[in-house]
Structure 1
Amino acid sequence: MINISIFGNMVKAVREMVNPGETLTLDQLIGQLSAEEVEKNRLLNIPSVSGCYNLISSTIASLPVKLYKKEGGKVTPIDNDPRLSLLNSNTGDTLDGFQFKQALVNDYLLYGEGYSYINRRVNTISSLHYIENVRVSVQNDNDPIFKHSTILVNGETYQLFEFLRLLRKSKNGAEGVGILTENYEALKVIFNTMRYEGLLVSSGGNKKGFIKSENRLSPEAVSELKKQWNDMYRNNNSNCVILNNGLQFQESANTSVEMQLNENKKTNAIEVCKMFNIPENILNGSCREEEYQTFIKLTILPILAQFETALNNTLLSNKESGVFYFKFDTKQLLKGDLLKRITAFGMAVKYGIMQIDEARKEEDLEPLGLDFIKLGLQDVLYDPVSTQIYTPNTNQTTEIHSTKGGEVENEDRNSSGSSNN
């Protein structure tokens, strides 16, 4: 019996493979769809592909999600909301918070669609359940303006608002386009190159070819030649093939040196990095600081923005929307560099952006009870509301308008005295 949801998901994956005018039987269509899905999963064996999507998903999964309340121009962090625990630690499912976010991002990158069922009880979200992409299919209506879609999971019908959806390049809010589909042909060439290299290694680097004979060989001679040939390509013994008089070996393939496989591997790795929008030196560990910042800004932050939008649209109630919002704590991206953290916190404390205990809290250190902001005696403070100037060094407060008036009055007196003289 065919699983309807899986079959529907496979149909959309290879819709472009079938010509519009071509009619296929159900068995033929299922055969093409199954082969396509299997081939896509095999593409994940390419080292640069697995390295790229694992790097992106693990980086995002390591960032905690925070909840903020914006009211009256003031932003207040909310620490005791149960939804934060679902997103960061215990999802209520078999996956923890890290695995949950990583699985969603992996599906987003590879297949264009990451789904999680939101288990609501009345107005409370009790758990989040990640669903494998292959188990989800989408049914769309034919209205291009007032679009409506429903989601099928194992044949059961659900509405869009019941799911947290992380979609890549979506045009209907229910489906997306993954990198495996977008770059299928290019990735298949890279995979075939990798397979050819494996074949060369398994055969000891021996070239493929065929035997030319001036005379017709007897069945016994053909059998003996095949046996010697198989022994040579097994690569487990030092075997050789004896060519009798009149037999010649004709090459039918180039060697790995002639095909420049090593150079092709480097080029292919660079092409894969382009697909995932990752600087090539990130994977080999030799990236500069500028390249790392580029990776964060151009690769990580756009996905975070889309993830945050999905969280705000699905996990907030109508009353909370516009007042509360979820946001990833990107400060964790700099946690690995102690010198940068100390420099940044020192500048923030110096210029009054943070208090000392606030900086210590970011480093998970015990507060010192120093609830104040540092000010230098050389600073002059101006209050734009009361138009007062306060000088800490002399402990004096001056009205700026009265100061101007005094200067004008003194100038008038001096000018009148000089004219009398």
Structure 2
Amino acid sequence: MFTSNQFSGGPVRASDPGAGWLASLLGRSIKSAAGVNVTPELALSLTTLQACVSLLAESVAQLPLVLYRRDGDKRDAATDHPAYRLLRFQPNGWQTPFEYQEGQQIANGLRGNSFAFIERDEAARPTALIPLNPDRMTVLKGADGLPYYQFEGQEPMPQRLVHHVRWFSLNGYTGVSPVQLHCNAIGLGLAMQDHASSVFANGTHLAGVLERPAVVGGAELKALSPERVAQVKAAWKAEYAGRENAMKVAVLQDGMSFKPLSMTNVEAQLLEARGASALEVAQMYKVPPHKVGLLDRATNNNIEHQGIEFVVYTLMPWLKRFEQAYNRDLLLPSEWSEYYFEFNVAGLLRGDAQSRYEAYAKARQWGWLSVNDIRRLENLPPVDGGDTYLQPLNMVPAGWMPAPGDKPKAEALAEVEQILNR
């Protein structure tokens, strides 16, 4: 049972926008300067924002997450640990590991926080992770300085019962919502999207017009009847519209002329402004523009390095947040020195086949990778005798000279012969 004096003389809600200086930055209202009310769900209607959020969520969810056990300088997958099975096979009764991890990252990408209730057995080992809606969660700062979590006004829960991953924080307890933080930029993008839709719904967009003068040869022409206008339009469309009628020569009578209509400057500026808004959204999430379909300045010369930069500078911070939160929340303090979670990003950091094989050749030649080490990196099964590490024969300490009469030992000769005959 929790009482008010457990929270520093009163419930200090670390996530409450009404708590002083945090309200001055975010506030309860998320109405943008463009006059559009911005919510996480509405923000997803911006294609670039949805692409950024789903790209990060799918990238994090597809990576293998392994719980390792330290054994001196070695490490092994702790397959017998409950937390390993929890995140590797079934986090709860209805979600796959991919779905759970994707949902947690989506919550972070839109709201800056993700929460999950940790079900534990009698030995305090985690048995399930139940996702909780961030909009219904209040984070309380206890008198001990630790966070407590109140879901839908229920009894506050201690930290050991809630798995919490947060984006960068201004108060140390809750992450800032990207949608709230950038509501003006997102609202501007939504406003331009609505404006463009209204133009197409209510505006007039013509490929061209047929002009008929009022006077021809000094004689005033009578206006065409509505029926005749319809006949002229139908005849023009039948004769010149469509791909099969391209490049035909038109013959016009009664002084008529055809004037094509081009895009106006206002329309061109609207397209340019929407492109700038899309680029701004990509910057919010530190996503390279080419990853979300913004190819205006993309080239194929360094696309491999850009992909590696995406992993290192965009994806890796999120992975570290999840890894360390899993270590804190799913492992007992007595296990921290022995166990740790880690995402395997080797597959995303690999270059093309030629670059990989050249790197493997050097690593094999200089002795820090064995055949089986390389095969594991390529997701291949090990082979017999593949755990031998090579050492160049001409590598000796500086100034070393063999003593007269020194001969290689029989064991060394046998090892060299085995390597050469493999």
Decide whether the 8 Å contact of 2:30 with 2:37 is kept in 1: no
TM-superposed deviation, 1:38: 6.5
Aligned-partner Cα distance in 2 for 1:89–1:43: 32
Per-residue CA deviations over 1:41-78 (Å, capped at 9, x if unaligned) read 21111011001111111111111112223354444443
What amino acid does structure 1 have at the position aligned with 2:408? Answer: N
Please give the residue correspondences for 1:51-66 in structure 2 after superposition, counting only pairs within 5 Å: 51-66=51-66
TM-superposed deviation, 1:163: 1.3
2:216 corresponds to: none
Aligned-partner Cα distance in 1 for 2:50–2:18: 20
Aligned-partner Cα distance in 1 for 2:315–2:402: 45
What amino acid does structure 2 have at the position aligned with 1:78? Answer: A
- Counterpart pick for 1:267 among 263, 276, 279: 276
TM-superposed deviation, 1:98: 0.9
What amino acid does structure 2 have at the position aligned with 1:312? Answer: N
1:156 corresponds to: 154
What amino acid does structure 1 have at the position aligned with 2:125? Answer: T
Aligned-partner Cα distance in 2 for 1:126–1:45: 36
CA RMSD of aligned residues (A): 3.8
1:113 corresponds to: 113
Decide whether the 8 Å contact of 2:366 with 2:392 is kept in 1: no
1:395 corresponds to: 408
TM-superposed deviation, 1:132: 2.3
Gaps of 5+ in 2: 1-12, 207-236, 238-262, 411-422
Decide whether the 8 Å contact of 2:369 with 2:389 is kept in 1: no
Please give the residue correspondences for 1:349-368 in structure 2 after superposition, counting only pairs within 5 Å: 349-368=364-383
What amino acid does structure 2 have at the position aligned with 1:308? Answer: E
Identical aligned residues as a percent = 21
Decide whether the 8 Å contact of 1:165 with 1:174 is kept in 2: no
TM-superposed deviation, 1:316: 1.0
Please give the residue correspondences for 1:9-408 in structure 2 after superposition, counting only pairs within 5 Å: 12=17, 39-121=39-121, 122-140=123-141, 146-157=144-155, 158-205=157-204, 257-258=266-267, 260-284=269-293, 286=298, 288-334=303-349, 337-375=352-390, 378-380=393-395, 395=408
Shift in alpha-carbon separation, 1:45–1:31, aligned structure 2, 3 A: closer
What amino acid does structure 1 have at the position aligned with 2:128? Answer: S
Per-residue CA deviations over 1:292-344 (Å, capped at 9, x if unaligned) read 22211111111111111111111111211122111111112146844444444
The 3-state SS of whatever aligns with 1:129 is strand
The 3-state SS of whatever aligns with 2:127 is strand
Aligned-partner Cα distance in 1 for 2:205–2:141: 54
Shift in alpha-carbon separation, 1:17–1:356, aligned structure 2, 3 A: closer
Aligned-partner Cα distance in 2 for 1:283–1:389: 62
Normalized per residue, the structure richer in helix is 1
Aligned-partner Cα distance in 2 for 1:159–1:106: 24
TM-superposed deviation, 1:36: 9.2
Aligned-partner Cα distance in 2 for 1:335–1:366: 19
The 3-state SS of whatever aligns with 2:286 is coil
Tell me which moved more, 89-98 or 36-45: 36-45
Shift in alpha-carbon separation, 1:271–1:351, aligned structure 2, 3 A: same
1:404 corresponds to: none
TM-superposed deviation, 1:351: 2.6
Aligned-partner Cα distance in 2 for 1:271–1:11: 28
Q: How many residues align?
A: 327
Shift in alpha-carbon separation, 1:55–1:339, aligned structure 2, 3 A: farther
The 3-state SS of whatever aligns with 2:291 is helix
Tell me which moved more, 288-297 or 95-104: 288-297
What amino acid does structure 1 have at the position aligned with 2:160? Answer: F
The 3-state SS of whatever aligns with 1:305 is helix
Higher relative contact order (CA 8 A, sep 6+): 2
Shift in alpha-carbon separation, 1:42–1:374, aligned structure 2, 3 A: same
Aligned-partner Cα distance in 2 for 1:15–1:187: 25
Tell me which moved more, 354-363 or 308-317: 354-363
The 3-state SS of whatever aligns with 1:164 is strand
Per-residue CA deviations over 1:120-165 (Å, capped at 9, x if unaligned) read 1123211111222223222335x6xx52432122332211221111
Decide whether the 8 Å contact of 2:30 with 2:38 is kept in 1: no
Decide whether the 8 Å contact of 2:39 with 2:179 is kept in 1: no
What amino acid does structure 2 have at the position aligned with 1:49? Answer: L
Shift in alpha-carbon separation, 1:344–1:31, aligned structure 2, 3 A: closer
Gaps of 5+ in 1: 1-7, 23-28, 208-237, 239-253, 398-421
TM-score under structure 2 length normalisation: 0.67
Aligned-partner Cα distance in 2 for 1:45–1:80: 43
Shift in alpha-carbon separation, 1:140–1:37, aligned structure 2, 3 A: farther
Aligned-partner Cα distance in 2 for 1:37–1:102: 26
TM-superposed deviation, 1:290: 2.5
Shift in alpha-carbon separation, 1:377–1:89, aligned structure 2, 3 A: same
Per-residue CA deviations over 1:266-293 (Å, capped at 9, x if unaligned) read 1111111111112222222646223222
The 3-state SS of whatever aligns with 1:95 is coil
Shift in alpha-carbon separation, 1:31–1:164, aligned structure 2, 3 A: closer
Per-residue CA deviations over 1:187-239 (Å, capped at 9, x if unaligned) read 101110011111112224469xxxxxxxxxxxxxxxxxxxxxxxxxxxxxx9x
